[in-house]
Structure 1
Amino acid sequence: MALITRLLSFVLLLSLAGPSLADSMARQDRCPTLDVSNPSARVRLMQYVCYHIADPGQQAYEAKAPDQLPGGIEWTRANGHDLVFSHTESTYWLRLHLTNRSAGQFRWYLKLNYPLLDEVTFWQSSPFRDTRPIVTGDRRPFSSRGIDYRYFLLPVTLDQGETTDITVRIHSSGALNIPLTLETPQEVIESSNHLTLTHGLFYGAVTIFAAFNLLLFFSSGTFYYFYNAFYMASMGLFLFAMGGFANQYFWPDNPDFANTAIPLLLGFCALAMTLFGRSFLEVIRGSAADRTLKFQAWACVVAVTATLFLPYHQTIISNTVLALAVIASLFVCAAVRWRQGYQPAIWYLLAWMVMLLGGLIYALAAFGYLTDFLASESLMQVTIGGQVILLNYAMVQRWRLLNQKLLDVEHNARTELEVQVHERTAQLRKAMRELEKANRSLSTLSLNDALTGLYNRRHLDNCLPELCAEARRTGNPLSLALIDADRFKSVNDTWGHSFGDECLRRIADVLTRHTKRPRDVAIRFGGEEFALLLPGTDREGAEKVCSEILHDIRHVPIESPDGTAVNLTLSAGIAELRTAEDQDKLFRRADDALYEAKSSGRNRVVISETVITDLEPGPAG
């Protein structure tokens, strides 16, 4: 009986305690309430957020409003962690309980700091006010957000003591970042102003660098400037789209293109990086690096084209992997070119080292593998800024290297030109000496008789006028003697012209031997006709010279081809220049004197207008 009494008492106590225990368990399942008037509590917002993941096929996945959620749904507390999910097809529900324990009505903004979400819907449930849901996201026009801001904002207005429940439904085809903050209007403005300044400086600098490189391309025609401008423009537009600015300012009414633009711009970035790297690094044509970069360039073109037709969740992954592969390959190519001695590659290598690290972190954050997307966005801007500075410094170093090469080429060309000029000058001088020697030889040939070596008729014609002019000017005597071999035709007819030439050379030797003074000139001006120009010699002196010549030639026999001793004789006519007489008259008088010597018996000297001097009887015939 006592045992039964104890059992009944336990059942009664359990029945009384049951409602209190169930209520306690229910309170544990519900999310805690956040006092929005408490700044420190707002900073720890994620401590008060609960979420539920609805997989495809579940009732919560199909639900379009909180009242369509199934009863007994399990909510998971965030426990202070950012909600970051990699690529999934699930729908995410968030719940947050807010209360205002301050005195008076205030407004706050629930801010979702990630712009790349396809579908975002906000609900507020409050017994004191009727609020309409905000249905927005990248799949809708930008005006659906209600507030012109790149992030998603939900205005929350609470009176004193008022409580509200906020429910958020999120669905997206890519990775999900759900960084939530609860801020006052002043805090929203302050953070927005700070980010506006930061973004303005970043995108302004990128635009200036891109425009500057484009101007360098137009002025120099160097294509890597164009590729660098293309890269900076596409990378700037990509970050502009990732940050939500492009959707806000460029295509607010075209939500379909808002998603397509991100992988499309990423493909353009990869293409621009490949083209710029191949041009800047001066990759050796036909090498493995050259073939790899060409293949990557065509792969980028295919990826850009495929982006226009394939779904977003496929192209964003494939284009991201392609971009990271391009960065890694350019890193390797830069290292190889640096080892090959291409000095600007070291700065290019540092630039892509920074880019590879920043791009990897940004990609992990964008795909939901790292938290704090805002910090990753700022890190990416710092990365791009550092890369742009390093790349432009690398181009400056490349320009300096090319300029130094140009100076070296110019110096070598100048040195080589000086050597060539020196060689050409030496050759020219040698040629001039040879030409002068040839001219002298030619002049000698033109003024000398080839057979006898005496001067010829041309020299007589050149020299006689000058000597006549000199004699008239100085008053010194000048005599001209014309000498002719007697009966020379018979010599040629009897023994031949070869022996006749030998006789002419013998006459020339005799004439040369008797014209001893430096200015005396012996000339052969015809076949067997000779002349003597004797400046400073009067007719008596000329007669003496001619007499000695005739005597020598007559008494020195020449042996003929048949062994006969032949004695040659000469006839001479002499004329001395008279006052006011020209060279023609002088020559005629000498010629007349020679004719007279010939006609009066030969082997004699006749002075013009004087008696004939008969030396010895000439040989018969």
Structure 2
Amino acid sequence: PQSPNWANWAIPLTIAVGETSMAIFAMTFLDLRRRRPLMHRVFVGFVIFQLLMLAITPLIGYRPAILIETAGVFVIAVMILTAALMLIRDGYRPARYFLLAWTALLVGVVAYALVSFGLLPKIFLTEYGIQIGSALEMTLLSFALAFRIRDLENEKQRLIRRSRDQLEAQVAERTRDLNEAMKELSELNLRLHEHSLRDGLTGAYNRRFVDQHVEAMRQRCAEGQQPLSVLMIDLDHFKQINDRYGHLVGDDCLRTVADVLHSQLLNDEEKLVRWGGEEFVILLPGVGHQAALQRAEQIRSNLAACPSTVQNQSVQLRTSIGVASADAAQLESVACLLESADGALYQAKRGGRDRVVVGQIAGCIKDETSDLR
């Protein structure tokens, strides 16, 4: 009463604030930013216009301001209806409840606007249409918000499930990658272990292989009631080859010998070992004395018939071989059998080289009488 001018300005200003609030609420509830970006920009433009009207209303006069704001009621009503219908068509369920709630308010607002333009008579329902519509709107929006909250909870649960599924998939993928890496590492370790048991020059096994595996070989033969034979092979006059042609040529000769010896192995159980220098050992599980002797003679003759060409000159490879065989179940140790083959090898050397000699194994056989005692 004390400020009639302010009372006049308060009406269009209040309408502007109300229309702005309606636009912001509709944008938020209907999730227009994500679901309808173009319609969201239209609503943002309307809000900006209303904020501008709040600033210029005192400058343009009461009647123009009230007419613009009243027209804005129709605009926001159409915008809200359009947005709600679009989202209903998109299958967004909360939009149906939102439209039902806002229809009550919009009817009251439109009725009030039509009264302002003199298009409807001023009666209780039209004059207080906004208040009546607001009461109905709040009641219906409470239901709409309940459905919205439920949908948000469902969406949250869906996102949680999807995140859990993605996490489980990532864990499974990482586990698979880890298992593959562990498998590769295991294979690499196996190759490294295998490499550590090999002679770098010839590719034959080294003495470490004998230390780690030969007892298991004897045990398998003993369990199968099989013999075990050893061939100790040495190149004759190899030092002369090194002195005359050099160690590189000597290495080539060793590789040639190793290739020939490898070709004489009949199965995977038979093993070629570089014992040291120009000496090689062939382990023959399951091969008896007579067969081992024949194999040794064949190896000696094959090496003699396989000259190595060095600096355009043919180098004859002669070998001395010591043979030792025993029943694996009666054998004291493989080391004893190796000593027997080594002794036979040196007998071949002293006997003129390029020959095969059989070693004595009497000292390698277990004393059965002592076992019985």
1:326 to 63, 70, 76: 76
Is residue 2:21 matched to residue 1:276? no
For 1:578 and 1:325, locate their aligned partners in 2 and report how far apart those are by CA, in whole Å: 106
Q: Which amino acid aligns with 2:280?
A: F
Distance 1:265 1:507, change over 3 A: same
| Preserved CA contact (<8 Å) 2:101 2:140 | yes
| Preserved CA contact (<8 Å) 1:573 1:608 | no
Distance 1:571 1:296, change over 3 A: same
Distance 1:302 1:549, change over 3 A: closer
Q: Which amino acid aligns with 1:558?
A: P
For 2:52 and 2:315, locate their aligned partners in 1 and report how far apart those are by CA, in whole Å: 113
Is residue 2:332 matched to residue 1:550? no
Displacement after TM superposition at 1:367 (Å): 8.3
Alignment map for 1:188-203 (pairs within 5 Å): none
Q: Which amino acid aligns with 2:22?
A: M
| Preserved CA contact (<8 Å) 1:495 1:560 | no
Distance 1:421 1:578, change over 3 A: closer
| 1:125-163 C-alpha deviation (Å, 9 max, x unpaired) | xxxxxxxxxxxxxx39xxxxxxxxxxxxxxxxxxxxxxx
SS state of the match for residue 483, structure 1? strand
Distance 1:509 1:371, change over 3 A: closer
SS state of the match for residue 32, structure 2? coil
Q: Alignment length, in residue pairs? A: 358
SS state of the match for residue 80, structure 2? helix
Is residue 2:102 matched to residue 1:359? no
Q: Provide the alpha-carbon RMSD of the alignment.
A: 5.3
| Preserved CA contact (<8 Å) 1:447 1:455 | yes
Q: Choose 1 or 2 for highest CA Rg.
A: 1
Instruction: Report what 1:212 is aligned to.
Output: none
For 1:543 and 1:507, locate their aligned partners in 2 and report how far apart those are by CA, in whole Å: 19
Instruction: Report what 2:371 is aligned to.
Output: none
Moved more, 452-461 or 396-405: 396-405
Instruction: Report what 1:598 is aligned to.
Output: 349
For 2:315 and 2:49, locate their aligned partners in 1 and report how far apart those are by CA, in whole Å: 110
For 2:123 and 2:91, locate their aligned partners in 1 and report how far apart those are by CA, in whole Å: 40
| Preserved CA contact (<8 Å) 2:9 2:57 | yes
Q: Which has the higher helix share?
A: 2
For 1:338 and 1:360, locate their aligned partners in 2 and report how far apart those are by CA, in whole Å: 23
Q: Structure 2 unaligned segments of length 5 or more: list them.
A: 363-373
For 1:310 and 1:473, locate their aligned partners in 2 and report how far apart those are by CA, in whole Å: 113
Distance 1:475 1:403, change over 3 A: same
For 1:426 and 1:261, locate their aligned partners in 2 and report how far apart those are by CA, in whole Å: 70
Q: Which has the higher strand share?
A: 1
Instruction: Report what 2:210 is aligned to.
Output: 460
Instruction: Report what 2:369 is aligned to.
Output: none
Is residue 2:231 matched to residue 1:481? yes
Displacement after TM superposition at 1:531 (Å): 0.6
Displacement after TM superposition at 1:294 (Å): 2.6
Is residue 2:321 matched to residue 1:568? no
Is residue 2:40 matched to residue 1:294? no
For 1:551 and 1:332, locate their aligned partners in 2 and report how far apart those are by CA, in whole Å: 102
Displacement after TM superposition at 1:277 (Å): 1.6
Displacement after TM superposition at 1:459 (Å): 2.6
1:534 to 277, 284, 287: 284
| 1:433-457 C-alpha deviation (Å, 9 max, x unpaired) | 8778777766655545566554343
Distance 1:335 1:570, change over 3 A: same
SS state of the match for residue 504, structure 1? helix
For 2:194 and 2:178, locate their aligned partners in 1 and report how far apart those are by CA, in whole Å: 23
Q: Normalization by structure 2: what TM-score? A: 0.66
| 1:545-601 C-alpha deviation (Å, 9 max, x unpaired) | 4344334433x2515243546242224364768978455555455445544543554
Distance 1:302 1:594, change over 3 A: same
Instruction: Report what 2:273 is aligned to.
Output: 523
| Preserved CA contact (<8 Å) 1:320 1:363 | yes
Displacement after TM superposition at 1:487 (Å): 1.3
Distance 1:454 1:323, change over 3 A: same
SS state of the match for residue 276, structure 2? coil
Identity value in percent = 32
Displacement after TM superposition at 1:273 (Å): 0.6
Displacement after TM superposition at 1:292 (Å): 3.9
Displacement after TM superposition at 1:462 (Å): 2.2
For 1:344 and 1:434, locate their aligned partners in 2 and report how far apart those are by CA, in whole Å: 55
Q: Structure 1 unaligned segments of length 5 or more: list them.
A: 1-138, 141-171, 175-255, 611-621
Instruction: Report what 1:490 is aligned to.
Output: 240
Displacement after TM superposition at 1:461 (Å): 2.6
Q: Which has the higher contact order (CA 8 A, sep 6+)?
A: 2
| Preserved CA contact (<8 Å) 2:344 2:358 | yes
| Preserved CA contact (<8 Å) 1:557 1:565 | no
Q: Which amino acid aligns with 1:464?
A: V
Q: Normalization by structure 1: what TM-score? A: 0.44
Distance 1:545 1:389, change over 3 A: same
| Preserved CA contact (<8 Å) 1:281 1:345 | yes
Alignment map for 1:201-280 (pairs within 5 Å): 266-280=15-29
For 1:363 and 1:173, locate their aligned partners in 2 and report how far apart those are by CA, in whole Å: 22
| Preserved CA contact (<8 Å) 2:111 2:126 | yes
Displacement after TM superposition at 1:275 (Å): 0.8
| Preserved CA contact (<8 Å) 2:231 2:323 | yes
Instruction: Report what 2:367 is aligned to.
Output: none
